Chains A and B, each alone.
Chain A
Amino acid sequence: MNVFVLIKQVPDTEAMLSVRNGTSINEESIKWIISPYDEYALEEALKLKEKDADVVVNALTLGPVRAEGALRSALAMGADNGIHIECNEDLDIETRARMLAETIKKESDTGLVFIGKQAIDDDSNQTHILVAEYLDMPITTNIISFKLEGDKVTCEREIEDGDIETVEMNTPCVVTASKVLNTPRYASLMGIMKAKKIELTKITLSDLGNISTEKKTFTKRLFAPPEKAPGRLLEGEPEEMVKELVKILKDEVKVL
């Protein structure tokens, strides 16, 4: 069975971002990482492979040349193959989702697609579901447990108010991983050495048949939100500060 794990390369969560040319981020001095939730997705796929030797784990990414780094990390953790759709990230989200789906369709016997519940960069929050729709597969998002029996997938997911929902689907299907799903493994030194030798599969738009790249959404401006005015430190004895704070919250800014 083929299993796909979608990986996205994103700036590190601690990165300070600045804007270049008004519409894109300044990539100099950014440390790039695998989007954290994608690591939980990959770990779940690797656990499947440990249980069933027939499982082939394919890490798939879409992005510019630097995105190769994310695939190397995935291979070092234990993925069998790395597939890189090399393209500009400025394409519309629907186009990128179609490219991911068409790449997955090129392989036969695909049973599962694992994705992180969200990428922590553009916060578009739709690629995972678009890919599932374009593949015509059911999807369950935000999962915290995963079980595969035959062709039946049972997973639990966190919904509103901390409630936990149990969902059933048949394979082939897509799941998106939350943080509590598992603990991702670290790449071993041997894994890192092995990963360097694996040849990546490179895919470009022309390999994917007829996908329209006509743009329908246009980034007009990217900018830093206005800085908040500096706040006020309260002074005095604890009792005085607490009294003053309550007075401010109740009578001045009226948020109570």
Chain B
Amino acid sequence: MSNLGIYIEIKKGKIQKNVKEVVSLAKSSGNTIFGVIFTNEFQNFKDELNGFDKIINVKGNDMVFHPDSFSETIAEIIKEHEMEYFMGSYSFKAKEIFPRIAGKLNECSLVNDCVNYNFGTGIATKPVYSGKLLKEIEIKNKLKLITLRSNVFPVEDLDAGSPELTEKTISDKIRSKVINVKKSESKSIDIMDADIIVSGGRGMKEKENFQILKDLASILNAGVGASRAAVDSEFASYNMQVGQTGKVVNPKLYFAIGISGAIQHFVGMKTSKIIVAINKDSEAPIFKKADYGIIGDLFKIVPMLKDELEKVL
């Protein structure tokens, strides 16, 4: 039995929703599961730590997310406990932390964004070329750093148990220092977190027309995305772009509205559970990729869809 650590990420005062997927997979390995949580308010989270054998609570004066101090602290923990694995959900914060840990430690390999990891064979499966292909990688290093794609792994019902709790002080090694955070004015949901995404393409014709997508999104509690064509035409901002040169998303439901479905867009959303396409061009490639398609004028269909959803939800 080896020691396996998991980064318990906190986002907006809550444990990030995909951490449960990581614990569920890790638990199947039979290893001793350590959770590493960075907070000065541990009591707020202590009832949500099912599945862990041990918890390390990292505390300190400066708990702002500086990737330097978080990764330095985790690297120390991995060494102290001679961990063989360290895992996390492939989130924004993990993208910063995990490569830094890999760079600080010897004899370790990192594989990001895995859609499978087999503890028996040591083989990780991950999308490459934005998911155009999948790659199986055998990791034979002493320490394996693994991040998992979100919304892919089943969540098991795990026992609460009574994990042993220890505390650790956060590292003060910070060389790239966050000096200000400007909150986004938009109240919209981040497409990286959204279970439902409503995306518009060039077919939206102008920036103002994105309002009908926002209206639809607000009924569904959805995030609003856009194709590269819509971003290049300045209908939408770059942080909304879904695709190979934008964000790769993985929601339960994806609406592609006025989007033709170029490969560069498709690879950014193809793992969505259900894809719905609305487009007036019956030849648009998106219809070959969608689960459900409506050929028609989006400016008629979308408001109608919003009204119908309001009735049933």
Which residues on A are within 8 Å of B, measured CB to CB? 11, 13-14, 16-17, 19, 25, 36-37, 92-94, 97, 120-126, 128-130, 132-134, 138-141, 158-170, 173, 178-180, 216-225, 228, 230-234, 238-239, 241-243, 245-246, 248-250, 253, 255-256
Contacts and interface: CB of A to CB of B under 8 A. Distances in A.
B134 A163 contact: no
Interface of B: 11, 68, 92-93, 95-96, 98-100, 102-104, 107, 109-113, 123, 126-141, 175-184, 186, 188, 190, 192-193, 196, 220, 238-239, 244-245, 252-253, 262-264, 270, 273-277, 287-297, 300-301, 304-305, 308-309, 312-313
A228 to B, nearest CB: 7
A231 B290 contact: yes
B122 to A, nearest CB: 10
Q: Which of A124, A138, A163, A239: most chain B Cβ within 10 A? A: A124
25 contacts: A16-B132, A19-B133, A36-B245, A97-B103, A121-B129, A122-B128, A126-B112, A129-B96, A133-B99, A141-B96, A158-B239, A167-B178, A167-B179, A217-B137, A217-B139, A231-B275, A231-B290, A233-B293, A234-B294, A238-B304, A242-B308, A246-B308, A255-B252, A256-B196, A256-B313
B129 A17 contact: yes
B239 A249 contact: no
A159 B92 contact: yes
**A-B pairs, 9 with minimum CB distance:** A133-B103, A162-B184, A129-B99, A138-B175, A126-B99, A166-B180, A216-B141, A138-B176, A255-B253
B166 to A, nearest CB: 27
Given A160-B190, A179-B245, A222-B134, A168 B177 contact: yes
A179 B239 CA distance: 10
A218 B293 contact: no
A164 B141 contact: no
A10 to B, nearest CB: 9
Contacts of B130: 120, 123
Nearest to A128: B99
Q: Which of A162, A164, A224: most chain B Cβ within 10 A? A: A162
A126 B181 contact: no
A139 B190 contact: no
Given A130-B99, A133-B104, A163 B183 contact: yes
- Describe B's contact surface by its main secondary structure: mixed
Given A161-B190, A234-B293, A224 B133 contact: yes
A245 B292 contact: yes
A165 B301 contact: no
Given A169-B175, A169-B177, A245-B292, A25 B183 contact: no
A238 B300 contact: yes
B253 A249 contact: yes
Nearest to A129: B99
A169 B67 CA distance: 13
A228 B267 CA distance: 13
Given A123-B127, A129-B100, A231-B291, A167 B176 contact: yes
Nearest to A161: B190
Contact of A165 (B180, B220, B277): B180
A11 B137 CA distance: 21
Contact of A256 (B98, B253, B304): B253
Nearest to B182: A164
Contacts of B68: 138
Contacts of A246: 305, 308-309, 312
A233 to B, nearest CB: 5
